Structure 1
């Protein structure tokens, strides 16, 4: 490799709450010579990170401006309300937004949910981040409604959460610049979508020798025909297989043959005088 050549690498951005470990592990197994660098980014900054080329692809929260970005929605998260463990809501399995009508509900600046109408009573301030809002919940001055992954990310022993049945939901997607759909991006798309290493989608992969996978149907038929020609005939030149048992006519002939032989041994019958 010359001094001007750069080793290929892949930069993956991800927003809080997304855990890319599974996909990173598969990447390292399939492309061990291409290092994958993880880049944690705020949800609001993720689209600009992709547009400026600071990352090759990234996990983002929808909606985003898709003017020059491609995106594949992956999953939708359950929405929960984070509460102190001794709060009255902790006594039920799930709640509705009406159940929170009298509660102070924080609306952080980086809120991952799209609200038509914010739930509960307005707080005295908007926390800068969801993590800050969770700290205020722990102080007992309000609640916060978030995607479940964020409740787990900022978990505290003195807090718990319950699903909110009628709250908006957050969708997570894999996104990348449309103009930057490289072979490595296609490889990562295949991994995220669960394609096998020999999948016909994405970049072609060479099947391992002797596996038989990926063979063309015509090649498989040709092999079968060649194998059939190599098999020896079971009954010699005639080519017909014999079961070793005589047919009905053969059995009859055999009996007749044995009778004639016995008669020959006894000779001709003598004439009576």
Structure 2
């Protein structure tokens, strides 16, 4: 079996739809999805153990190519009975007297649930870490985050091009990658010289004419 094409993704990204398209188009090439922290995903690309990754921008690495995909809306995560939970949205002024937590998101959610403070994070992350004792509200005037597909420029392969095409929404007919064709055996070569068919049981024989002599013409012509 062929080596798997490894795609890493950070918390909150859901690459399943792209993986399903890959399986339909390239069933002979297994795709492996690996959830990783941002630093580990980029380190995997650098080491060659990860072929592409869904991460959040910015990515400060000149050796990586990237395709920005979509923006994520920020939310404020707070304890379920927090005073700000009565609001439809939370502004920076509403947070002026709050303890703002910053750090690894899984640990931050634990601190929010313990009523240590509140935190702002992408809505997709808060949804992935949702629990009954915390709630979220849209964060007004907070910066958005952007998810991008990144890969090492000098390590791109035909499979990388195929995956980029899938993520960009390129159809199977318009895909410019040719991983499937490259993995298939080439068709047998044919002799370009045409051959004259002969009747069964007969062979065609040509008698060479000696140099300097011309063949005699039949009489009457």
TM-score class normalised by the smaller sequence:
0.7 to 0.9
How high is the TM-score relative to the length of structure 1?
Answer: 0.63
Contact 2:162/2:175 (8 A) holds in 1: no
Residue among 97, 100, 106 paired with 1:105: 100
| Residue from 171, 175, 181 that aligns with 2:156 | 181
Hey, what does 1:94 align to over in structure 2? 89
* Aligned-partner Cα distance in 1 for 2:21–2:13: 16
SS in 2 for 1:104: coil
SS at match of 1:59: strand
Instruction: Report the Cα distance in structure 2 between the residues aligned to 1:148 and 1:200, rounded to whole angstroms.
Output: 32
How far off its partner does 1:13 sit? 0.8
| Bigger relative CO (Cα 8 Å, ≥ 6 apart) | 2
Report the aligned-residue RMSD.
Answer: 1.7
Q: TM-score, normalised by structure 2?
A: 0.77
Q: Which runs of 5+ in 2 are unaligned?
A: 182-221
Alignment of 1:59-208 (within 5 A): 59-108=54-103, 129-199=104-174, 201-203=176-178
Alpha-carbon separation, structure 2, partners of 1:144 and 1:72: 28
SS in 2 for 1:185: helix
Deviation of 1:204 (Å)? 8.9
Q: For this pair of structures, how many residues does the alignment match?
A: 181
Secondary structure of 2:165's counterpart equals helix
Aligned to 1:58: 53
> 1:71, CA displacement in angstroms?
0.4
* Per-residue deviation, residues 205-239 of structure 1 (Å, max 9, x unmatched): 89xxxxxxxxxxxxxxxxxxxxxxxxxxxxxxxxx
Please give the per-residue CA displacement for 1:148-173, whole angstroms capped at 9, x wherever unaligned: 11101111112110111211221110
Separation of aligned partners in 1, 2:58 and 2:107 = 23
Determine the C-alpha separation between the residues in 2 that align with 1:19 and 1:100. 30
1:75 is paired with a residue of what secondary structure? strand
Relative distance call for 1:22 and 1:40 in structure 2 (3 A) is: same
2:141 is paired with a residue of what secondary structure? coil
Contact 1:199 1:205 in 2 (8 A): no
